[in-house]
Amino acid sequence: MPLDDARPGGVPAERGAEAPPGAGRPRGDRLGWLRSQGLGLACGYATVVLLAVGSVVLTATRDGASAPIHMDDLRGFFTPVHPAHLWLYLLFPVAALYALNTVLATWDTVVRKWRAGVRAPTAYAASVVHVGFLLALAAHVAGGFLGRDGAGVLVASGWQDLPGFGEVRLLSLEVDALPDGMPREAWARLEVRDAAGRLAQETVGYNVPLSAGGGASLALLVDLGRTWVARIAAGDAACALAEGQRCRIAGEDVRLVRLVPGEGGAPAAVVGARGPSGADQVRLLARGGALALPRGGELRLAAIASEQAVVLRTREAPGNPWALAASLVMGAGIALLWRKLVR
């Protein structure tokens, strides 16, 4: 079979509007095998075999060597390096060779067709699909090695900083529970305030995360329930804090260390803030009392109440924009192929 229009992975050569065999290809090309269809087929079959072996190994070593591996995080395969994951270590050079074969074969095909005067978009459909394949490989690499999971952020009625999104607060929470009380579905309506102060309302569910940057930043709903919240005021300003949270009020950073019983058993708040001297202090704030601030203001405890709350876990997923681009490019290539077939 002549390799006049080499395709990595065994994709059939396009017929009809292709360039003459060998057009634009120098004689004695010693590296021609790198863009050959045979190499693409070999890499494709090797990839399938290694992935099949990997699925068996991951299942068999789930409680052992594969315990640190989660979702699309490839770093777990190297902490530490383990012989059981030899299939993955072999997959990397195979995938790199596969990508190189795809780049060279696609470039060769496009150049030959263009030099032959082929201008019909449908003639380049397979090449567009190959570009989508390369973007998909880049998505796996970026997501597997650069993704990061952040800590959980408790979100109630008060504004809380959510890395990658600005500040958020919970407006409402709807839960569809099973007969045993376990939540089947949950929908948290949030108000989001970005760095410029713009407000927007978003809804987050178990499979519907908060997303930004084309999916590069995610906030996933991981828990829900009720928590005790202290509403602390200073003048006309106020903020609601759960234990361990902080806010800025009256120009001062205030954090709620914990809630404790006060005099007569009434709940009180242990707060951290600068005192009149300007030094950081941890002091007890009870209902009806006040704590002086450096600039003459006072902190007051307005209320302590149980509120609905959710926990959002942030995740950096730099591979998602690449995956989105890959899907769009592949979709365009398939549309061109379909248009060519129905002609």
* Residues 102-129, mean pLDDT to the nearest whole number: 94
Confidence band, pLDDT 50/70/90 cuts, at residue 339: confident
CA 225 – CA 240 distance, rounded (Å): 16
Q: What is the mean pLDDT of the chain?
A: 88
**Is residue 95 pLDDT above 50, yes or no?**
yes
**Is residue 307 pLDDT above 50, yes or no?**
yes
pTM above 0.85, yes or no: no
The b-or-e profile of 172-190 (16+ CB within 10 A means b, else e) is ebeeeeeeeeeeeebebeb
Q: What is the pLDDT of residue 20?
A: 45
Report in angstroms the alpha-carbon separations of 151 from 132, 148, 275, 313, 336. 33, 10, 30, 6, 44
**Is residue 30 pLDDT above 80, yes or no?**
no
- For residues 109 and 36, the answer to whether their CB atoms sit within 8 Å is no
- For residues 243 and 257, the answer to whether their CB atoms sit within 8 Å is yes
**Is residue 3 pLDDT above 50, yes or no?**
no
Token pair recorded at residue 301: 């405890």
Q: What is the pLDDT of residue 26?
A: 52
**Is residue 13 pLDDT above 80, yes or no?**
no
**Is residue 171 pLDDT above 50, yes or no?**
yes
Largest CA distance in the chain: 95
